[in-house]
Amino acid sequence: MSNFPHFEYKQDILHAEQVPLETIAQKFGTPCYVYSRAAISATYHEFQQAFADDDYLVCYAVKANSNLAILNLLAKLGCGFDIVSGGELQRALKAGGDPQKIVFSGVGKLADEMRMALAANILCFNVESIGELQLLNQIAAAMNMTAPVSLRVNPDVDARTHPYISTGLKENKFGIPIEEAEHIYLSTDIFSNIRFIGLDCHIGSQLTELDPFVQAGERLMSLLHRLQSHNLKINHLDLGGGLGIRYTNEALPSIQDYVTALRKTLGPMKLRLVIEPGRSLIGNAGLLLTRTAYIKHTPERHFAIVDAAMNDLMRPSLYKAYHQILPINKRSGGSCNYQIVGPVCETGDFLGHDRKLNLEAGDLLAVMSAGAYGMSMSSNYNSRPRAAEVMVDGQTVHLIRARETIDQMIAPEAILPS
């Protein structure tokens, strides 16, 4: 099956749903992120179907792509949100998210962010250290409230993914060492304004195997049994996000297999299962549309210099991540081995190496699998305004973020008075 069923060639022209991508480039310019509404909805439904009648909550990891239109679409489908900052909280609420479906993760929550989230009455704080628990307890007391908490434990499981996005090993900064968690859960007398309602972990991102999820789940379940033997009532188990997507031809478990494996770790225990998928919900629902500015042949190499760069999509530069790059108009004839690079002044500014393409200046290209950690990790490096974002829905294209202007980019800055 195609990795991108909603981005397909029709008569050798790549389309997003029913719309030729060249039409989008003409109307909105490039670089431009293009998302498919049908792709996002279909993947969310796959999660829903996999859980069937279970008690579950899908909390989309907002960091993967935080555009309000995407959050609003997911909220309308019934999805909850996993947030990691006050900014993400504001976005989730503004997009119509239900506070009782919001979990708050992250190692460095600040006092103001805790206040905002308590005032919003979110479902749960995923607390990652004793210091954070103490601060949350104090703030909740001052607000005359009780904070609902899951401890995010670090189960010391190797996610077997890129080291920068592996989070569940004991040397990582994330979570409370699992062997310390029981003691904290049983210290309810010290934390009078905390109510423990869940148990949480997140072991990493772009996992391509189920085994690490199962190992983590089993370690958490064993802790949960011990907590129950002390009569501590836990309502939900949150196993984080992390399911990978196919960037090229990786062998991957399906969403159904993933959910089945997680449910199995629960055994007969009646407990709500929470998951925090980011990439698997949105990654293959988006692409980055870019135009070739120049073709440059040197004695060593063939370069296609395009108008998107590492500031728009930093995954290739940061992780040497592979994204498929497809021509918008297929052209017959011989191809050349191209380095697809951006205009930024860094040798590490590339979108793809050694791609066999038949290209001319002016040609449009699609950098695939760019829906997750694309726009949300973009920057203004080299004073490049941020790209536009559009959402395709059948034959209609909605602008969901206007291209940033140079004036908007520099407006917050000020020159010293002389």
Ligand X SMILES: Cc1ncc(COP(=O)(O)O)c(C=O)c1O
Ligand Y SMILES: N[C@@H](CCCC[NH3+])C(=O)O
Residues tagged in the binding site annotation for substrate: 279, 315, 319, 346, 373
> Nearest approach, Cβ of 165 to ligand Y (angstroms)?
5
Is the CB of 62 or the CB of 326 nearer to ligand Y?
62
> Nearest approach, Cβ of 159 to ligand X (angstroms)?
10
Which residues are CB-contacts of 367 (< 8 A; sequence separation ≥ 6)?
A: 287, 288, 290, 308, 313, 323, 324, 325, 351, 352
Among 34, 64, 92, 288, binds ligand X (CB under 6 A): 64
- Catalytic status, residue 59: no
DSSP assignment, residue 377?
G
Which residues are CB-contacts of 247 (< 8 A; sequence separation ≥ 6)?
A: 3, 321, 322, 323, 324, 368, 369
Within 10 A of 190 (CB to CB), how many other CB atoms are there?
Answer: 11
Select from 280, 154, 276 the least CA-distant residue to 215: 154
Q: Give the C-alpha separation, 185 to 291, whole Å.
A: 55
Binding residues: 242, 276-279, 315, 319, 346, 373
Question: Is 355 near ligand Y (CB under 6 A)?
Answer: no
Residue 242 contact among ligand X, ligand Y, none, beta carbon within 5 to 8 Å by kind:
ligand X
Taking CB under 6 A as the criterion, which residues in 128-167 touch ligand Y?
165
Q: Give the C-alpha separation, 14 to 330, whole Å.
A: 8
Q: In the numeric block, which tokens belong to residue 172?
A: 């990582």
Residue 276 contact among ligand X, ligand Y, none, beta carbon within 5 to 8 Å by kind:
ligand X
Question: Is 155 near ligand X (CB under 6 A)?
Answer: no
Among 219, 315, 323, 386, binds ligand Y (CB under 6 A): 315
Question: Is 198 near ligand X (CB under 6 A)?
Answer: no
From residue 175 to residue 214, the character string flagging contacts with ligand Y as x (rule: CB under 6 A) and all else as - is ------------------------------xx--------
Q: Could you give phi then psi for residue 53, rounded to 5 degrees? A: -95, 10
Residue 315 contact among ligand X, ligand Y, none, beta carbon within 5 to 8 Å by kind:
ligand Y
Question: Is 373 near ligand Y (CB under 6 A)?
Answer: yes
Catalytic residue from among 59, 124, 336, 345 = 345
SS3 letters for 188-251?
Answer: CCCCCCEEEEEEECCCECCECCCHHHHHHHHHHHHHHHHHHHCCCCCCEEECCCCECCCCCCCC
> Nearest approach, Cβ of 247 to ligand Y (angstroms)?
10
Report, as residue numbers or ranges, the catalytic residues.
Answer: 345
Which residue ranges make up the site for ligand Y (CB under 6 A)?
Answer: 63, 165, 205-206, 315, 373, 377
